[in-house]
Chain A
């Protein structure tokens, strides 16, 4: 960070700096580093029925070959594929069309953004009623067209789609504000030139806007992917991961394993798996994307 190397070390300044950092470091060590190492350590011990015994990688083999674990990882991947591209595209579309002083745009921006602020638990309460068979808002709407709605949260084939739609609604407005900021910084003269050339709007978007807001897209992509692993509160209200784990996600499965089944060993393994996934996403971000953003 600081490139000016001094040949004499200023011990007073060093001590002062560390004194200022100490309060933060204490909490970081206690609640980020210690628990991380604790999880790694515990993941090698089987501790069901109270007694701990060293089992090494055996426990990883047991947990990772579990059918439910496989299902949960698959669901998380479906969630990433289902939510990330759609919510980003929707966010760009919304940003482009509310990015002017037209009447009603303030209202539109607010209506796209407000879901960001609502706690997942409250969203779950609301959407549980939207998805309720026959009486729910969605089925009432579909019945106008004579369509019989499915059991949106009760059928394994539908439940992930239902969750994906809800999460897109929750997140698109959040990404929209980053695109709004990105659009403000675009060079106006390029658009002037495109206009004089008579370029088609979609062409302008594909050749100018989209490449120029790439840094924003990459940033949002990382946040959206990480969120797909972190947002699980709604499962507690809506499905508890069911039916038959069809909507279960890694973090919620970890919660169940630790606090419903009290399998400490398996919970530690799952924590380590989640740690590795999130670290991989960040390292990919800092080491690879960050270098490519500044072209």
Chain B
């Protein structure tokens, strides 16, 4: 009996959780005039693409998409390099002050760049980088989380392999490239998914350091757009714009569900 009750509860909870998304998608296909007047908020009598066309015309989506993609990939590309090198040092080398350096890295996990917005803004101003994509990316080019994640994986690779490649005359970077990179592939995928989805969503920092269409990411663009409307008549356009921002994330989640859930589970490791 208790099974039936709990099963019912969990299904109801599931429906409750999916409701905001369903409603948003349906509203984005509803003509603006009907959004307010309709009695049932889930009925779409005359489905239309009008909201999407309106959103696409009012917001420079193409530019914003491009900006977000450049920022997200720019962060990931540099992170991959810094993280791999540091993780290798931590996993395989003996050096003086290693525990101290370990704590230095740990500090970034305790104090994430997201809360240093004010002093970092001052630094970007000194560097003359305000209103550039570079300013958005720079604070995230070191990732202690990535270093610790990868260090764990690197440690599990047999040291014998290292020595074997050395005997074969491999340079250290060849060992890294041909032994470590392929063996740690799942970890790289996990880190990549977390990094990309985090920075796709980032808002406060880009909001502060940008002030032009050329450097703004999607999140900031859509927030500025949504700010200009408060009346119900614009619900269709705003929901359509929202769907356009989250669609790539949801599509990626739909196709790589397993990897996504596994990756986010990794964010629990220290």
Task: Mark contacts of A183-207 with chain B using CB atoms, 8 A cut-off: 1 yes-contact digit, 0 otherwise.
Answer: 0000000000000000001000000
B74 interfacial contact with A, CB 8 Å: no
Q: Which residue of A is nearest B17, CB measured?
A: A111
B181 interfacial contact with A, CB 8 Å: no
Q: How far is the CB of A12 from chain B (nearest CB, A)?
A: 10
Number of chain B residues whose Cβ lies closer than 8 Å to a Cβ of chain A: 92
A161 interfacial contact with B, CB 8 Å: no
Instruction: Tell me if B10 and A97 are in contact (CB < 8 A).
Output: yes
Docked pose: A109 CA to B264 CA in angstroms = 14
Docked pose: A140 CA to B86 CA in angstroms = 54
Q: How far is the CB of A112 from chain B (nearest CB, A)?
A: 6
A-B contact count (CB 8 A): 253
Which residues of chain B have C-beta atoms less than 8 A from A25's C-beta? 101, 104, 142
B window 197-253: CB within 8 A of A:
197, 200-204, 207-208, 219, 222-223, 226-227, 232, 235, 238-239, 241-242, 245-246, 249-250, 253
B117 interfacial contact with A, CB 8 Å: yes
Q: Which residue of A is nearest B108, CB measured?
A: A32
Which residues of chain A have C-beta atoms less than 8 A from B88's C-beta? 20
A window 114-172: CB within 8 A of B:
114-122, 125-130, 132, 135, 137, 140, 169
Instruction: Tell me if B6 and A97 are in contact (CB < 8 A).
Output: yes
Instruction: Tell me if B246 and A129 are in contact (CB < 8 A).
Output: no
Q: A21-B86, A122-B222 are in contact. Are A258 and B121 (CB under 8 A)?
A: yes
Docked pose: A73 CA to B192 CA in angstroms = 35
Q: A21-B89, A117-B250, A125-B226 are in contact. Are A268 and B118 (CB under 8 A)?
A: yes
Number of chain A residues whose Cβ lies closer than 8 Å to a Cβ of chain B: 91
Q: A16-B93, A129-B239 are in contact. Are A169 and B20 (CB under 8 A)?
A: yes
Which residues of chain A have C-beta atoms less than 8 A from B167's C-beta? none
The 8 Å CB contact of B119, one of A38, A90, A230, is: A38
Quick check: which of B44-52, B77-85, B157-165 contacts chain A, the rest being far away? B77-85
Instruction: Tell me if A278 and B104 are in contact (CB < 8 A).
Output: no
A56 interfacial contact with B, CB 8 Å: no
Docked pose: A16 CA to B141 CA in angstroms = 21
A291 interfacial contact with B, CB 8 Å: no
Q: Which residue of B is nearest A22, CB measured?
A: B85
Docked pose: A268 CA to B99 CA in angstroms = 30
B170 interfacial contact with A, CB 8 Å: no
B265 interfacial contact with A, CB 8 Å: yes
Docked pose: A94 CA to B9 CA in angstroms = 10
Docked pose: A122 CA to B182 CA in angstroms = 36
B window 250-268: CB within 8 A of A:
250, 253, 257, 260-261, 264-265, 268
Which residues of chain A have C-beta atoms less than 8 A from B121's C-beta? 258-259
Quick check: which of B21-29, B57-65, B183-191 contacts chain A, the rest being far away? B21-29
Instruction: Tell me if B208 and A126 are in contact (CB < 8 A).
Output: no
Which residues of chain A have C-beta atoms less than 8 A from B120's C-beta? 31, 35
Instruction: Tell me if B232 and A108 are in contact (CB < 8 A).
Output: no
Task: Mark contacts of A17-33 with chain B using CB atoms, 8 A cut-off: 1 yes-contact digit, 0 otherwise.
Answer: 11011011111101111
Instruction: Tell me if B138 and A33 are in contact (CB < 8 A).
Output: no
Instruction: Tell me if B142 and A28 are in contact (CB < 8 A).
Output: yes
Instruction: Tell me if B20 and A230 are in contact (CB < 8 A).
Output: no
Docked pose: A230 CA to B96 CA in angstroms = 35
Q: How far is the CB of B80 from chain A (nearest CB, A)?
A: 11
Instruction: Tell me if B119 and A35 are in contact (CB < 8 A).
Output: yes
Q: How far is the CB of A201 from chain B (nearest CB, A)?
A: 6
The 4 A-B residue pairs with the shortest CB-CB distance, nearest first, are A35-B119, A119-B201, A27-B142, A17-B95
Given contacts A38-B122, A271-B115, 6 further A-B contacts (CB under 8 A): A23-B81, A31-B120, A32-B108, A126-B239, A230-B115, A278-B111
